[in-house]
């Protein structure tokens, strides 16, 4: 893909039930997780915006934050917010629970996206939809999926015929998402890997 850099969005609208406290504000390497991820995108995307349960939620961290357009839908609701906010062009989406990923993986996604692609995502045994590139033109389809009660992003990727990329060679060693404080503590201690 050539041309303007995609807009970047960090999904941070979850309720963090399993985490026990707000996961996006968990401190990793001296920064709240949401701010750390936003910082890692700078230079690779045109702008960084957080999608949360309410607008302005992370303004205290200097992060532009918009609200999920349809509340309590999980990642698909955050995706809809990102696509609608961007309006057009490619949109890079990453969820705030990615404590370990390589920003250069985004470069691979971007290089693979072709005109007409609805989305590009890594796929091993399963899709990795919350570290993916989406076309903003998908917003109506995402809204329809929500209207039908569909919340699984991997099903959406299948239905739209997304371009699948093989996992990067260092994925198993590097890629880590966390959903609990215990998992985050294990990762910090070097006992949790991809």
Asked if pLDDT for residue 76 goes beyond 80, the answer is: yes
Asked if pLDDT for residue 4 goes beyond 90, the answer is: no
| pTM of the predicted protein model | 0.90
Give the model confidence (pLDDT) of 118-141 as tens digits.
999 999 999 999 999 999 999 999
Give the model confidence (pLDDT) of 89-100 as tens digits.
999 999 988 888
Tell me, yes or no, whether 2 lies in a domain. no
Tell me, yes or no, whether 47 lies in a domain. yes
Mean predicted confidence (pLDDT) in 133-153:
95
Question: Residue 133's beta-bridge partner residues?
Answer: 92, 120
Q: Write down the residue that tokens 């961007």 correspond to.
A: 86
Mean predicted confidence (pLDDT) in 49-65:
95
Asked if pLDDT for residue 17 goes beyond 60, the answer is: no
Q: Which CATH number fits the domain that encloses residue 93?
A: 3.90.550.10
Non-local (6+) Cβ contacts of 68 within 8 A are: 13, 51, 52, 53, 77, 78, 80, 81
Tell me, yes or no, whether 63 lies in a domain. yes
The pLDDT value recorded for residue 14 is 61
Tell me, yes or no, whether 48 lies in a domain. yes
Tell me, yes or no, whether 1 lies in a domain. no
Tell me, yes or no, whether 39 lies in a domain. yes
**Helices (H), ranges, 122-180:** 139-147, 153-160, 171-174
- What's the number of domains the chain is made of? 1
Domain with 128, as residue range(s), is 7-188
Give the model confidence (pLDDT) of 160-180 as tens digits.
999 999 999 999 888 877 776
CA distance 36 to 34: 6
Tell me, yes or no, whether 59 lies in a domain. yes
Tell me, yes or no, whether 193 lies in a domain. no
Higher-pLDDT residue of 30, 182:
30
């Amino acid at each position: 893909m050539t041309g303007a850099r995609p807009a970047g969005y960090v999904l941070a609208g979850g309720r963090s039930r399993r985490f026990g406290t707000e996961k996006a504000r968990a401190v990793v390497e001296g920064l709240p997780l949401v701010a750390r991820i936003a910082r890692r995108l700078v230079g690779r995307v045109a702008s960084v915006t957080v999608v949360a349960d309410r607008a302005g939620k992370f303004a205290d961290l200097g992060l532009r934050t918009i609200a999920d357009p349809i509340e309590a839908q999980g990642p698909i609701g955050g995706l809809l917010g990102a696509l609608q906010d961007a309006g057009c062009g490619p949109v890079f989406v990453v969820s705030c629970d990615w404590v370990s990923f390589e920003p250069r993986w985004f470069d691979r996604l971007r290089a693979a996206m072709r005109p007409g692609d609805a989305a590009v995502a890594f796929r091993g045994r399963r899709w990795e939809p919350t570290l993916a590139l989406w076309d903003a033109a998908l917003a109506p389809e995402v809204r329809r999926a929500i209207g039908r009660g569909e919340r699984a992003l991997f099903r959406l990727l299948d239905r739209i015929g997304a371009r699948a990329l093989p996992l990067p060679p260092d994925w198993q060693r590097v890629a880590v998402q966390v959903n609990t404080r215990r998992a985050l503590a294990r990762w910090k201690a070097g006992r949790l890997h991809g």
